[in-house]
Structure 1
Amino acid sequence: MKVVIIGGGVAGLTLGLLLKKNNIEVVVNEKFKEMTTRGHAFLMHIDGWSILNELNANTEICLPGEEIGAFSLNRQDGKQVKRQKLNLWRCIKRKDLVQFLYDLFPKEQLKTGRTFSHFIYENGKAIAAQFTNGEVEYGDVFVGADGGNSAVREAILGAVTYTPVEVKEVVGICTNERLGASHQNIFTKYQSCTRGLSFGMIPVSEKDFVWFMQYSVAEADCDQGCSPEELKAFCNYQLADFPPVVTELLANNDFSTSYIWNTRDFGLLPKFHADNVVLIGDAAHLALPFTSAGTTNAILDAKKLTEKLLSLDDVEEAFEAYYDERQEDIKKHIYLGRELKELFLNPLSVDGDKMVVPLISKREDKDAHTEKLIDIQYFTDPICSTCWVVQPLLRKLKLEYGAYIKIDYRMGGLLPSWDEYERGSISKPSDVAPHWEEVCMIHGIPLDGDIWIEDPLPSSYPPSIAFKAAQMQDADLALLFLRRIKEMLFLEKINIVDMAYLEKAAFDVGLDSARFVHDYENKAQEAFREDLILAQNMQVGVLPTLIFTNLENEQIISKDYQEYEYLEEIIHKLVPKAQKRTFNTDPVFLFTNFSTMTSKEFSFLSSRDMEETNHILADLFDKGFIDKYESKNGIIWKSKLANY
């Protein structure tokens, strides 16, 4: 089989390399005789750049670009309204990525100076691509990778209806070493709160930035063929009341290399092929640039199309399977782009903390959208040692009975202050230290009680309110936040009353830390009070307390630490037909699903004894799959595989 690819950009070259790697004959045809710098740079998710890394596995050619670890959204006066961690994103100059792909691709299989004209058909199938320079390339399969204005797409499927151009984007690249030091690895965006205007800057190296100015054409516009001086004046005028960092960056920009991009998209096509001709990348689907998904999607197209061509004998069947696998994600990105455009054009209609950040990758919970037969109200507290040691039980309960249960996390308010606190033998901070050491010995899960002597917490209310602030943003990330602040307290001896530590924990697990602080100071206070009132009304006097309720409103309450079998028994009493789900106990699976585990947790979840557990964990550590934090009374193992 010979595959003829029309378009020598990122999509076409990636597909060519993947096919060549699998010993399929391929020719890539590019209309430009020399590499173009148009496009400047783009963001790419690990879904894309992990595929590229596979291509250079046996070479010394390194993937270019700068990893981007944070997103900062600010108003035009500089006030930050969002600050969020980005997982596994990279910013790459277009010319660097194309050069990377060129260096890997055999030159004799790359034909330049070829602009597509039409297909030559025989018996209803394309047998050759005709180019405007008179050259012809024969093949068995033809791929249109010729961008958003695809001539191949029009030839096989007809013209598409583009959305009107309502937003334009000025794009450039410039160097600023001072800003490079202060904005390293951060995607920074400034957005007007009164009109459709924004400025973004993303580092592509230690000192280079790609920048863009997005603007509503209904409010202002600049002629497409304007001079560099006119473009510079237009940008400076529009951004005059933006922060000094914007002016400083633009002062270093060469506007002769900048350009204006008309942003538009078209709806999901009913198919990506006709007979033996198929489309990938922007030729197949075009989303607005607000999603930053175009390049990643093009590379994923190349990967999926290659897989289908290799696994299915019939070409059209392979094309249909490729479309079926890609269409849902593509449709989501098209509609997300349109949603973000509307928010951009109508900034007065939405609060800053409600703005969507498309560069956040989050794992789907397969049980999240199914109706649950049991509701569990879980009253807990960030500083409760028993709540810490029941964590393995709750994790296993979710793995085995997640299809039946929904756990609603509530704060129990364990320690208002030490002024009137007295429970059993504990009446002052120093009493907690030996209690934690005892809990550690009984359950085999590390706790370090020295914090109650070295830096005692005055109350559990601040971290409890912080959890409610996290919960208001994202219920799943809130659980990661709660886990993280417990690790900080129980193992690292960090005083989690301090807002600086709470804010860092929020950012580290992927929450918007700017919104987190705002909610902590406002709405979360009331949400915490509501939890305390509910706990009082339900007569919760012991933590942890789990209240199990089925659809018939039958209720069973579990208090304090109980063995796992007791919790299972409750589920079967409330739902007699409940079936335990078998889950994968492979170490890699567990560390992909859980970002951290103690040795006891791993032993419990994997059903291994401690001797085997210790051997496996040591081996994973030696191989670089996990890291570790050694506390006084034990180790917390930190996954390098976890998928948040």
Structure 2
Amino acid sequence: MSFKQTEPYFDLNSRTKRVQCSYFDLLKKPIEIYLFIDPICSKSWALNPYIKKLQLEYGRFFTIRPILYSKLLKINQQMIDNPDKLQQLANKVNRQKGRCTERQPLIENSIKYPADILFAIKAAELQGTKAGRRYLHKVQERLFLSHADISIDEGLIQIASEANLDVEEFKRDLHSNSARKALQCDLKVSKEMEIDQTPSIVFFSESEEDEGLKISGSYGYDIYVKVLTTLLQKDIKPFNKPDIEDFISYYRFISSNEIAIIYDWSLKKADREMKKLQLKQIVSQVQIDKDFYWHYNK
């Protein structure tokens, strides 16, 4: 069975095996989603509004497990510890056709020591799934919006503070064996599920004991809803989305484009609704490049 969204298409019979790692426990819901992302990948960043929307409308059906994957992880530990060799490899990967990150300044500034960024994300996850995702989102904001170099410990620790983590615990975990083992687990899962690009998503249903459905690449929102419907074998209705003020009070910093996608609004309507909140001094507007972002003030 297959379906398509114009071009390209993917096959619903694309199956993979479930891989378990002991460090991560999931709540029992009908669907488990393994989300393979590269934190320095612009395509992974662009998937965020679709994942947020999916959680708001259908989160009662699934749990999400973020998995870190990068071509730069296909190297041995010795090379990770050698900055010069690692930078040579990074430059080679970024020159490849169809590279994930399009912004050359970001490439030069941010992946000189990519392992530190990856370990930091896993260290944040040790404080809980939500803490890890808050930290990951802050990392991506720094990379894609500020174009900042966060490859040194001071920058990574500052992000932990901004993400409301226990900073002292984060410092202890940043270079710990626990964070290293968590990253090694991600590598194992990626290898076993034959992941070769980001973003990729694997859906597991409780009715299918071991097999999962893998979708490589980015697709429109309706595709992900269709997969959920297919795996659940029933029609599913979306929850009503929260009031826009409640939404931005939770995420605190978001673009007009994300709001438009999540609320099914035009970009003009998203700007108009946010300007209403701006007049009430609930949000502040920030322009980055040509895009408008909104920061929650309270």
Q: Which residue of 1 aligns with 2:249?
A: 592
Alignment of 1:407-486 (within 5 A): 407-416=64-73, 417-421=86-90, 422-423=92-93, 425-426=95-96, 435-436=102-103, 450-452=105-107, 455-486=109-140
1:530 paired with 2:185, answer yes
Provide the rounded CA distance (Å) in 2 between the counterparts of 1:611 and 1:593.
Answer: 22
Deviates more, 1:586-595 or 1:497-506: 586-595
Q: Deviations over 1:125-172 (max 9, x none)?
A: xxxxxxxxxxxxxxxxxxxxxxxxxxxxxxxxxxxxxxxxxxxxxxxx
Q: Displacement of 1:610 after TM fit?
A: 1.0
Q: Which residue of 1 aligns with 2:7?
A: none
Provide the rounded CA distance (Å) in 1 between the counterparts of 2:147 and 2:32.
Answer: 34
Q: Which residue of 1 aligns with 2:62?
A: 405
Q: Which residue of 2 aligns with 1:541?
A: 196
Q: Displacement of 1:619 after TM fit?
A: 2.8
Alignment of 1:163-242 (within 5 A): none
Alpha carbons of 1:406 and 1:481: their partners in 2 closer, same or farther (altered >3 Å)?
same
- Aligned partner of 2:147: which letter? K
Provide the rounded CA distance (Å) in 2 between the counterparts of 1:484 and 1:625.
Answer: 21
1:508 paired with 2:178, answer no
Q: Displacement of 1:457 after TM fit?
A: 2.5
- Aligned partner of 1:420: which letter? L
TM-score by length of 2: 0.79
- Aligned partner of 2:134: which letter? L
- Aligned partner of 2:173: which letter? D
Q: Displacement of 1:423 after TM fit?
A: 4.8
Provide the rounded CA distance (Å) in 1 between the counterparts of 2:110 and 2:128.
Answer: 30
Which of the residues 207, 217, 240 maps onto 1:552? 207
Q: Deviations over 1:569-596 (max 9, x none)?
A: 1111110225233223532122123222
Provide the rounded CA distance (Å) in 2 between the counterparts of 1:481 and 1:424.
Answer: 25
Is contact 1:383-1:489 (8 Å) kept?
yes
Q: Secondary structure at the match of 2:174?
A: helix
Is contact 1:469-1:519 (8 Å) kept?
yes
Q: Which residue of 1 aligns with 2:41?
A: 384
Alignment of 1:278-317 (within 5 A): none
Q: Displacement of 1:498 after TM fit?
A: 1.8
Provide the rounded CA distance (Å) in 2 between the counterparts of 1:412 and 1:594.
Answer: 24
Q: Deviations over 1:393-417 (max 9, x none)?
A: 0001111111111101111134343
Q: Secondary structure at the match of 1:567?
A: helix
Alpha carbons of 1:469 and 1:456: their partners in 2 closer, same or farther (altered >3 Å)?
closer
Q: Secondary structure at the match of 1:581?
A: coil
Provide the rounded CA distance (Å) in 2 between the counterparts of 1:418 and 1:377.
Answer: 29
- Aligned partner of 2:96: which letter? I
Is contact 1:470-1:481 (8 Å) kept?
yes
Provide the rounded CA distance (Å) in 1 between the counterparts of 2:46 and 2:249.
Answer: 21
- Aligned partner of 2:187: which letter? L
Provide the rounded CA distance (Å) in 2 between the counterparts of 1:543 and 1:370.
Answer: 25
Alpha carbons of 1:630 and 1:527: their partners in 2 closer, same or farther (altered >3 Å)?
same
Q: Let me know the Cα RMSD of the aligned residues.
A: 2.4
Is contact 1:380-1:412 (8 Å) kept?
yes
Q: Deviations over 1:104-141 (max 9, x none)?
A: xxxxxxxxxxxxxxxxxxxxxxxxxxxxxxxxxxxxxx
Alpha carbons of 1:578 and 1:483: their partners in 2 closer, same or farther (altered >3 Å)?
farther
Number of residues of Structure 1 aligned to a counterpart in Structure 2: 257
Q: Displacement of 1:637 after TM fit?
A: 1.5
Bigger Rg, structure 1 or 2: 1
Which stretches in structure 2 are left out of the alignment for 5+ residues?
A: 1-24, 74-85
Q: Displacement of 1:369 after TM fit?
A: 9.7
Q: Deviations over 1:241-260 (max 9, x none)?
A: xxxxxxxxxxxxxxxxxxxx
Provide the rounded CA distance (Å) in 2 between the counterparts of 1:415 and 1:558.
Answer: 21
Q: Displacement of 1:612 after TM fit?
A: 1.3
- Aligned partner of 1:477: which letter? A
Provide the rounded CA distance (Å) in 2 between the counterparts of 1:580 and 1:503.
Answer: 41
Provide the rounded CA distance (Å) in 1 between the counterparts of 2:118 and 2:94.
Answer: 23
Provide the rounded CA distance (Å) in 2 between the counterparts of 1:467 and 1:582.
Answer: 30
Is contact 1:480-1:509 (8 Å) kept?
yes
Which of the residues 276, 281, 296 maps onto 1:624? 281
- Structure (1/2) with the larger strand percentage: 1
Provide the rounded CA distance (Å) in 2 between the counterparts of 1:369 and 1:478.
Answer: 14
Q: Secondary structure at the match of 2:268?
A: helix
Is contact 1:585-1:605 (8 Å) kept?
no
Q: Secondary structure at the match of 2:160?
A: helix
Q: Deviations over 1:68-123 (max 9, x none)?
A: xxxxxxxxxxxxxxxxxxxxxxxxxxxxxxxxxxxxxxxxxxxxxxxxxxxxxxxx
Alpha carbons of 1:508 and 1:627: their partners in 2 closer, same or farther (altered >3 Å)?
same
Q: Displacement of 1:618 after TM fit?
A: 2.5
Alpha carbons of 1:387 and 1:379: their partners in 2 closer, same or farther (altered >3 Å)?
same
Q: Deviations over 1:251-294 (max 9, x none)?
A: xxxxxxxxxxxxxxxxxxxxxxxxxxxxxxxxxxxxxxxxxxxx
Q: Which residue of 1 aligns with 2:79?
A: none
Provide the rounded CA distance (Å) in 2 between the counterparts of 1:423 and 1:622.
Answer: 46
Q: Which residue of 1 aligns with 2:292?
A: 635
Alpha carbons of 1:410 and 1:398: their partners in 2 closer, same or farther (altered >3 Å)?
same
Alpha carbons of 1:572 and 1:537: their partners in 2 closer, same or farther (altered >3 Å)?
same
**Percent sequence identity over matched residues?**
21
- Aligned partner of 1:426: which letter? Q
Provide the rounded CA distance (Å) in 1 between the counterparts of 2:230 and 2:94.
Answer: 33
- Aligned partner of 1:415: which letter? L
Provide the rounded CA distance (Å) in 2 between the counterparts of 1:580 and 1:459.
Answer: 44
Provide the rounded CA distance (Å) in 1 between the counterparts of 2:60 and 2:196.
Answer: 29
